[in-house]
Structure 1
Amino acid sequence: MPSVDIIMKQLQHTGQYMMQYGLAWGNAGNISARTEGDRYMITASGTFLGELEDQDLVECDMSGAVNGTERKMPSKETPMHRAVYESRPEIGAVLHASPFYSTLVACSDIEIPSNWFVETMYYLEKIERVPYYHPGSAALGEGVREKAKHANILLLENHGVLVYDTSIREARMALQTLEMACRMLVVSQSANIAMAGLSRDTEMDFLEKAGYKPRRNWDLS
């Protein structure tokens, strides 16, 4: 496990990356990463992801306690992040954002194909929807908890997206893949372009045999 200082720097870089590539805007969004055991570091309430200072990152534990009284209050969306970490011990990072195309799809009933290209086959294999609950509410946290084991990408209806993976880098890649796929989806439909996805057999053969990345073990209980 990287040190707290390294994780802090990785989160600061990720915030800048998300702003640079249109994966976040304004004060919308919050990001976190597991530090050790039952602790994780999350952006403070009301912070701008593109300019995160050390004091804008708060270390918490699963009980909600904050490490260090000199720090700001953690994001009000902490219940979502905590629900993922408690449900999925292998998860190392959680990114919540409202990218344009991904949020457009989250506000619709459009389904996102996973069979278009290599990254969609891997990162978008399992996507779930979470019904709308007010941001920061305990109800939203429980809605996320209900779906967390079934996917690594959650569409938060009329809100945005929640992406989580084993590391900050993997979560960042999943978020960018999601936004790219949603952009292709919306543009292709607008231009009446018929997309030619791969067959389910080909998709499964890739996931099981291609060796691109280890196959994910999904808990569908």
Structure 2
Amino acid sequence: MKIEQVIHELQKTGKYMMEYGLAWGNAGNISARIDDARYVITASGTFLGELDHSDFAVCSLDGQTPPVAQKKPSKETPMHRAIYETRPEIQAVLHASPFYSTLAACSSIEIPSDWFVETMYYLERIERVPYHHPGSLALGEAVREKARHANILLLENHGVLVYDVSIQEARMALQTLEMACKMLITAKQANVKITALSPEVVNDFLLHAGYKPRRNWNVY
């Protein structure tokens, strides 16, 4: 897509995230790849629900200084850049702090992937990233270390990082994560035991159900 189309899709995504409780305030930042060498990311301090065309900055994957005329990119660019460099098929990265997902990231709760169709696919692999200060190079490198092994990262005591092959798929993964975390925590509060699917059923679904092609994790 052209950069104007990418920005338009990110604007819609930011509004969607705010409307459906996947983001709040000016917390969070979102980006999308433009081509092999560049990506566009929300500017520092922007409000995801009201993104203007000028609220984005173009960044280079080679670390070159962005154009002076544009706004300052989000300080979380080290995380985004690490994902795009490590996973060339990834087209979009969403960083946010949804309530239930962030609660999970601030605890030792394990998020199940064996509950229903979307969790089996989108939550197949989740990794935890130890706390590093937001925007730091240390956090970027910690994300790089985990990026090959999962499409969802729980940033401990911080939030979540979700990335996928399109903006739409990344948005779906984020919403699935928040739904599963909400179900998990609500069930614990209500003392409801959720019946999980067997590993055999999950594996058969991923391989043969035709929902979506299973990711080939061995290539990362």
For normalisation by structure 2, the TM-score amounts to: 0.98
In the alignment, residue 138 of structure 1 is paired with which amino acid? L
Offset, 1:80: 0.2
Tell me if 1:23 matches 2:22.
yes
CA shift, 1:66, in A, is 4.8
For 1:178, give the aligned amino acid: L
Correspondence for 1:154 = 153
1:42-82 CA deviation, whole Å, 9 max, x = no partner?
A: 00000000011111111111133355321101000000000
**Cross-structure match for 1:188:** 187
What SS does the corresponding residue of 2:205 show, helix, strand or coil? helix
**Shift of the alpha carbon at 1:7?**
0.3
What is the aligned partner in structure 2 of residue 145 from structure 1? 144
Deviations 1:108-166 (A, max 9, x none): 00100000000000000000000000000000000000000000000000000000000
Kindly provide the amino acid, as one letter, of the partner of residue 119 in structure 1: E
Aligned equivalent of 1:60: 59
1:35: which partner in 2?
34
Q: Is the 8 A contact 1:58 1:66 kept in 2?
A: no
Listed as ranges, the matches of 1:16-165 within 5 Å are: 16-165=15-164
Q: Which AA in structure 1 matches 2:75?
A: K
* Distance (Å, rounded) in 2 between the aligned partners of 1:67 and 1:157: 30
Alignment coverage as a number of residue pairs: 220
Q: What is the distance in 1 between the residues matched to 2:16 and 2:40?
A: 18
Matches of 2:62 and 2:165 in 1, distance apart?
22
Deviation per CA, 1:150-190: give whole Å up to 9, x if none.
00000000000000000000000000000000000000000
* CA deviation after TM superposition for structure 1 residue 38, in Å: 1.5
Q: Unpaired segments of 5 or more residues in structure 1?
A: none
Instruction: Give the Cα–Cα distance (whole angstroms) in 2 for the partners of residues 69 and 43 of structure 1.
Output: 15
Residue equivalent to 2:171? 172
Q: Measure the CA separation in 1 of the matches of 2:218 and 2:131.
A: 24
Classify the secondary structure of the residue corresponding to 1:150: coil
- Contact kept, 8 Å, 1:19 with 1:25, in 2: the verdict is yes
TM-score scaled to structure 1, two decimals?
0.98
Q: Distance in 2 between matches of 1:153 and 1:124?
A: 7
- Deviating above 2 A after TM superposition, structure 1's stretches of 4 or more consecutive aligned residues are 63-69
